[in-house]
Amino acid sequence: MKNLLEDAIAEVYTRVSPQVANFCGCAKCRDDAMSLALNHVRPRYATGDPPRGAVLSRIELQSERGQAELISVVMDAVQHVASRPRHQTPPLGTPVVS
Ligand SMILES: [Zn+2]
pLDDT in tens, 17-51: 999 989 999 999 999 999 999 998 876 665 555 54
Residue 39 counted as domain residue = yes
pTM of the model: 0.76
Q: Look up residue 56 and give its amino acid.
A: L
Domain hosting 16: range is 2-83
Residue 43 counted as domain residue = yes
How many angstroms separate the alpha carbon of residue 50 from the centre of ligand 1? 35
Taking 50 as the threshold, does the pLDDT of residue 1 lie above it? no
Query: Residue 56, Cβ neighbours under 10 Å: how many?
Result: 14
How many angstroms separate the alpha carbon of residue 21 from the centre of ligand 1? 13
Query: Residue 67, Cβ neighbours under 10 Å: how many?
Result: 16
Residue 21 counted as domain residue = yes
- The helix (H) or strand (E) run that includes residue 17 is none
How many angstroms separate the alpha carbon of residue 38 from the centre of ligand 1? 18
Residue 63 counted as domain residue = yes
Q: How far apart are CA 80 and CA 63, in angstroms?
A: 26
74: nearest Cα among 82, 86, 85? 82
Q: Is the Cβ–Cβ distance between 82 and 38 less than 8 Å?
A: no
Tell me which range, 11-20, 51-60, 84-93, is most confidently predicted by mean pLDDT: 11-20
Q: How many domains does the chain have?
A: 1
How many angstroms separate the alpha carbon of residue 10 from the centre of ligand 1? 17
